[in-house]
Amino acid sequence: MIAPESLPRVLHGATGRPLTLAQHEEAFGPMPTATPSLDLLESSGLTGRGGAAFPTARKARLIGEQRGHNKFVVVNAMEGEPAAHKDRTLISANPHLVLDGAQYLARVVGARHVAVCVSRDDPIMVNHLQRAVHERDRHATRAVSFELHTPPWRYVAGEESALVHWLDDNESLPQYRPRRPHVLRIGHAPVLVDNAETCAHVGLIARYGADWFRRLGTPTSPGSTLVSVSGAVARPTVLEVPLGVPVRAILERAGADPDPQALLMGGYGGAWLDARHLDVAYANDALAPLGSSVGAGIIIVLPRSGCGLIETQRIARWMANESARQCGPCAFGLPAIADDLARLTVDTPGAGAAYDRLVDRCGAIEGRGACRHPDGVVRLVRSALQVFSAHVEDHVRGRACAASRSNHHYSAVPTLEREEELVWE
């Protein structure tokens, strides 16, 4: 079997419908029977593709060092970001590649059980994974058991500690973790959580090796990654690109507006990137000095006719609505931030005061939540105030931009379930 050299890698062999197990093994070859190697994962330099970019081998080593045989590997295919379509695209093409990686990780850490989690609100993905798991169940020689779980879809339900909490106690609430990394548990059993794309890359590395994986990407950000591109594009799409490719090249492949105003990088908990930086490499070490990151692999393109403050306010309002509301920063801080953004964007007499409160509230909220949900909103808002500083000044002075009077939006914000009416004095 010759490893596929051309992109896309994790989508190789895709036919528009999920590959069966037989088709999958014909396209990629069988998984190796040799003892899984944690050193192989470490040599590959693979980092998690769910947003945090934590080294996959380091995460696995932590769980492997825990005592006991009753360990779990959890595949996180919840895809809580409304602008993300990566998991759906991947699982609609190669669900068995995801399960291969999960099986390899289970053998590495000494786990007997793999819990595959996908939202019950996406019946197509549930069906694809259900069929794939049933196919593997018929192969009695496989030492790892797979079980499909379908939590309800919420933004925070995909946060790894909330997902483990749901598996353990049927509640999608993030767990307080004062330090990272932190060993999550189902009962007393240690749990390794990796997202679907990360598992798919593990399935490739196990077959073709670390050197093959590193043929794409950069020395510090090796491999390829999936990117969901939406906003001012011909149509929302998912691309697989080498890490380190210029952001401008991604936009060209996606058929995006060639002269955008800004890009929202990393998703709703990400940061705005000024269009002056389109030639920056799509890799965390290159994006970090600009206050941005690859994050969850999402790019939302904002044209020059759009208003970044309006888009930020819509996202912040939705993020406040989606919080677990189990601590002060989420329950009170995020609605207050969304409130002040609304005051700022509609040019009320108190717009200037609203801006000052936004700055103060971001400082008071950051780092004080039970999870990183409020930190993501703070990062989003701070980046908006910086990238769209000229718009901020116009709004404060009562000079609303034309986009603020338009009903056309570029971020796919779902309808709020329990939106509260704003009451301004």
Whether residues 200 and 236 share a domain: the answer is: no
Percent share of the chain, pLDDT over 70: 89
Whether residues 183 and 38 share a domain: the answer is: yes
- Token pair 């549930």 is found at 126
- Sign of torsion over alpha carbons 319, 321, 325, 331: positive
Average pLDDT over residues 222-236: 95
pLDDT digits 0-9 by tens, 89-114: 999 999 999 999 999 999 999 999 99
CA distance 241 to 3: 18
Tokens linked to 245? 């490719």
Position 419 in a domain? no
Residue 156: the pLDDT is 77
Predicted TM-score (pTM) of the model is: 0.91
pLDDT at 239 over 90: yes
Whether residues 277 and 197 share a domain: the answer is: no
Domain that holds residue 345: 308-405
pLDDT digits 0-9 by tens, 139-167: 755 678 999 999 988 887 778 888 888 89
Give the CATH number for residue 364: 1.20.1440.230
pLDDT digits 0-9 by tens, 388-422: 998 888 878 877 676 666 677 888 888 765 544 43
User: How are the residues of the chain apportioned to helix, strand and coil, as percentages rounded to the nearest 5?
Assistant: 45, 15, 45
- CB under 8 Å to 363, separation ≥6 — which residues? none
Whether residues 132 and 200 share a domain: the answer is: yes
b/e 127-156 (16+ beta carbons within 10 angstroms → b): ebbbebbebbeeeeeeebebebebbebbbb
Residue 258: the pLDDT is 94
Position 326 in a domain? yes
pLDDT classification of 199: cutoffs 50, 70, 90: very high
Residue 308: the pLDDT is 92
